[in-house]
Each structure stands twice: as structure tokens, then as C-alpha cells.
């Protein structure tokens, strides 16, 4: 582990992206920033700018409209970048689509989970996940970030 | 009431930090009745599959292979709604308080339970699990008119290992057709 990845793991910057879904996961992310849970204990800086961020938290399922923007925002991030799929929608599409992987059944608006658009590193199931589950997801993403060069 | 709780919390925070230590310590507060990962109870579940039919996110799947039935909850799909717990006739599934489910890989994220499958002795189609059939039999004999219990029990034994189609096809041959009950006249 080089000094760069060590430093990155100590202070990752995070951006949140809402791709679709019902918005509840988005609100739960705000909880994580409150004094009770305070994810900034882990060295995280909440930076709503993908060009500066190391970790992208995506919530909600990807719709046909948002797919291109999710891809574009992911491409704007600098490597090494990690993606957290937050919530059941982002993990698999949840209640909005049926099937998974190759036999996923798109609806007329929803494509599926975030992994249909961009590669995902950490999955955090829950509808919405409890704030502690989100913190666990962030901790896992930081572990992965430390290992990448 | 809410205010009193809030004031209590605020006073406590004067002496002890309110911030949780998680992930380096235990979670701050796990309320009773929290909706976490649904889990099968090995002793109660009979493998009927009602939960898979009613699951709102299609997270529970039934897989019949050879002589085993496998019910599994793919929990990255689960929305923790609790419908499976509501609908289960045997109290065979319940939401636990497990919520720390984050993982690098979602492929192996399953909770499952296995059963021995009963297949039709005529056409080899799936009938159901042994436990399910036993339970159905028990329920029927419990609720049916006491005057025909013995007769119905004998009929049930005749088509125990037959699928629905074969039961219908063979109903005259085996003399299990329900017609004979309708034709009985009782004074009520
Ligand atoms: S996972 Fe549930 S809470 Fe989160 S966006 Fe989807 S529907 Fe809403
Ligand atoms: S007994 Fe309950 S948990 Fe088991 S398969 Fe039937 S509905 Fe599901
Ligand atoms: S809690 Fe709801 S979504 Fe999860 S397995 Fe049960 S019925 Fe399906």
C-alpha cells in the first residue's frame, strides 16, 4: 500500500447521486450526516462534486432517462473510484423490475439496478437501509479504496 | 411525550457523546420490531411457497430440482415489507433484526431452506413437500363434518402421492369423486 492510497483511505471524498427510486434512500443519507451517526468520523468529506469525489453513492433504480447521466457522472470521476449501490433499488431494481442479471425484465421506464449502467463495488440492501448499514457500506468501500493503487 | 424523550436525550448528551461508535462499536439504537433480514424457521416452515407467491419484490424463489425443493430469499431484492411474515400460515418466516447486510458481492446473498419433494407416482410432476401435504391433511380432517371424517381420510390416503391433474383423471377409478358426499342427505 503506497502513501497515496493510504492517504486516500484516510480521507475519501464522497458524492451522492440519485438515479431514480422513491427518494427515501436519499433522505436516509442525510441522517448519516447528523451528529448521531456522523459519518465524517471516518474521515469522509461530503463533496457533492463527482470530479472531486473518490466514492460515489448511488441510490434508486436507473431509469431510461437517467442511465446516460449516471454513466456520464461516473466517467467524470477520477480513478481510483468506488461505487456504492445504496438501497434495494440500486442493488437489483427491487420492486420496480423483475428478474436479475441476464433475464432482467425492463419496464417501460426502469432499466434496473445501478449495475446495469456502471460497475458497482459495494451493495447495501435495505429499503431504505438503516443509517448504520450505510456507514458499514462506506467503511467497506474505504477498505476497497485503500487496496487500489 | 416526544418532547420528554428529546429532553432526556439532550441531557444525556451533556455527559456522554450522542454520536454512535459504529462501525468500531455496537450500533447506537436497534428499536424493537425493526424490519431486518427475513429468516426461515426450520421447525415451522412447511415449504408451501405461499411467501414466494405473495412477495412484493419477488425476492423469494422456489426451485424444484429432483427430489428437493429449495426456497431462497435473495435479499438484495428484499424490501423488508413483512408480507411473507403476514401471509405465512405456519409462522415459518419472520423478519429478524439483522440489518448489516452490506457486501462486495450480491450473487451469494441468499438465505435458503430445503425440503424433500413428493412427486406424482403417475406422471412424476411436482406435488408438494411432505410436510405441506401432512399439514393439509391435518387441516382438512380438523375442519370437515365429523360424520364423513373416516370416509374422507380413506380418500385422502388413496391420492396422497398424486398431482392435481392425476387426481382428477383417476377420481372415478379410485372412487374419490366428491359427488358421493353431495348425494348424501342429512337432516340439519
Ligand atoms: S430502495 Fe426503497 S427506499 Fe430506497 S429508493 Fe428504492 S424504493 Fe425508495
Ligand atoms: S410455511 Fe411459511 S415460510 Fe414456509 S414456505 Fe410456506 S409461507 Fe413460506
Ligand atoms: S419482506 Fe417483503 S420483499 Fe422481503 S422476502 Fe418478505 S415479502 Fe419479500
Q: Could you read off the pLDDT of B13-72 as tens digits, one per residue? A: 888 888 888 888 888 788 888 999 999 999 999 999 999 999 999 999 999 999 999 999
Q: Which of A85, A91, A64 is nearest to A16 (CA)?
A: A85
Given pLDDT bands bounded at 50, 70 and 90, which one contains residue A60?
A: very high
Mean pLDDT of B116-128: 93
Number of separate domains in chain A: 1
Mean pLDDT of A46-55: 92
In the predicted structure, residue B187 carries a pLDDT above the cut 60: no
Whole-number Å distance between alpha carbons of B168 and A137:
54
- Residue B119, in any domain of the structure: yes
- Residue B23, in any domain of the structure: no
Radius of gyration from C-alpha coordinates of chain A: 15
- Residue B6, in any domain of the structure: no
CB of A88 sitting under 6 A from ligand 1: yes
Cis ω before A101 (30° cut-off from 0): no
Q: Which of B97, B93, B103, B36 is nearest to B60 (CA)?
A: B93
Mean pLDDT of B124-145: 93
pLDDT in tens, B18-27: 888 888 888 8
- Residue B148, in any domain of the structure: yes
Question: Which ligand places an atom closest to the C-alpha of A126?
Answer: 1
In the predicted structure, residue B77 carries a pLDDT above the cut 90: yes
- Measure CB to CB from residue B76 to each of A35, A121, A123 and give the nearest one: A123
Mean pLDDT of B146-171: 89
> Could you tell me the CATH number of the domain that includes residue A85?
3.40.50.12280
To the nearest 10°, report the CA torsion of B55, B130, B117, B95: 30
* Predicted structure pTM score: 0.88
- Residue B44, in any domain of the structure: yes
CB < 8 Å & 24+ apart, contacts of B177-181: B181/B148, B181/B151
Whole-number Å distance between alpha carbons of A45 and A35:
15
pLDDT in tens, A85-115: 999 999 998 899 988 777 888 889 999 999 9
Q: Which helix (H) or strand (E) element contains residue B74?
A: strand B68-74
Q: Any residues with CB less than 8 A from the CB of A77 and at least 6 apart, and which?
A: A15, A50, A51, A53, A54, A56
Taking contacts as CB-CB distances below 8 angstroms, the residues of chain B near A36 are 18-20, 28
Radius of gyration from C-alpha coordinates of chain B: 25
Number of separate domains in chain B: 1
CB of A14 sitting under 6 A from ligand 1: no
User: Picking from A21-35, A73-87, B19-33, B103-117, which range would have the lowest pLDDT averaged per residue?
Assistant: B19-33
Residue A24 touches partner B, C-beta closer than 8 Å: no
Helix pair angle (B149-158, B130-143), 10° resolution? 160
What pLDDT score does B36 carry?
92
CB of A94 sitting under 6 A from ligand 1: yes
Which cell numbers in the block locate residue B90?
A: 405456519
Whole-number Å distance between alpha carbons of A41 and B21:
9
Nearest residue of chain A to residue B102 (CA atoms): A124
> Could you tell me the CATH number of the domain that includes residue B172?
3.30.70.20
Which residues form the domain of A137? 3-147
Which residues form the domain of B152? 32-187
What pLDDT score does A86 carry?
94
User: Among all chains, which residue has been given the C-alpha cell 464522497?
Assistant: A14
- Measure CB to CB from residue B103 to each of A92, A95, A123 and give the nearest one: A123
Amino acid at each position: 500500500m503506497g502513501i497515496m492510497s493510504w492517504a486516500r483511505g484516510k480521507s475519501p471524498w464522497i458524492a451522492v447521486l440519485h438515479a431514480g427510486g422513491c427518494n427515501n434512500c436519499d433522505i436516509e443519507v442525510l441522517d448519516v450526516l447528523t451528529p448521531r451517526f456522523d459519518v465524517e468520523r471516518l474521515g469522509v468529506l461530503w463533496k457533492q462534486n463527482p470530479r472531486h469525489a473518490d466514492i460515489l453513492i448511488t441510490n434508486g433504480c436507473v431509469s431510461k432517462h437517467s442511465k446516460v447521466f449516471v454513466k456520464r457522472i461516473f466517467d467524470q470521476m477520477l480513478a481510483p473510484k468506488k461505487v456504492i449501490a445504496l438501497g434495494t433499488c440500486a442493488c437489483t431494481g427491487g420492486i420496480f423490475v423483475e428478474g436479475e442479471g441476464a433475464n432482467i425484465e425492463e419496464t417501460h421506464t426502469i432499466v434496473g439496478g445501478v449495475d446495469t449502467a456502471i460497475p458497482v463495488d459495494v451493495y447495501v440492501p435495505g429499503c431504505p437501509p438503516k443509517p448504520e448499514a450505510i456507514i458499514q457500506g462506506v467503511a467497506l468501500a474505504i477498505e476497497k479504496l485503500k487496496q487500489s493503487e | 411525550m416526544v418532547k420528554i424523550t428529546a429532553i432526556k436525550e439532550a441531557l444525556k448528551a451533556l455527559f456522554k457523546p450522542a454520536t454512535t461508535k459504529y462501525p468500531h462499536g455496537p450500533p447506537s439504537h436497534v428499536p424493537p420490531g425493526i424490519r431486518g433480514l427475513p429468516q426461515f424457521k426450520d421447525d415451522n416452515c412447511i415449504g408451501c411457497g405461499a411467501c414466494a407467491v405473495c412477495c412484493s419484490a419477488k425476492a423469494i424463489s422456489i426451485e424444484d430440482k429432483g427430489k428437493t425443493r429449495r426456497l431462497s430469499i435473495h435479499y438484495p431484492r428484499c424490501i423488508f415489507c413483512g408480507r411473507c411474515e403476514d401471509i405465512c400460515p405456519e409462522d415459518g418466516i419472520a423478519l429478524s433484526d439483522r440489518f448489516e447486510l452490506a457486501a462486495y458481492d450480491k450473487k451469494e446473498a441468499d438465505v435458503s431452506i430445503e425440503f424433500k419433494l413428493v412427486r406424482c407416482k403417475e406422471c412424476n410432476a411436482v406435488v408438494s413437500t411432505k410436510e405441506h401435504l401432512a399439514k393439509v391433511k391435518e387441516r382438512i380432517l380438523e375442519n370437515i363434518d365429523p360424520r364423513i371424517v373416516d370416509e374422507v381420510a380413506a380418500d385422502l390416503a388413496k391420492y396422497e402421492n398424486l398431482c392435481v391433474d392425476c387426481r382428477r383423471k383417476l377420481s372415478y377409478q379410485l372412487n374419490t369423486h366428491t359427488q358421493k358426499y353431495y348425494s348424501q342427505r342429512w337432516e340439519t
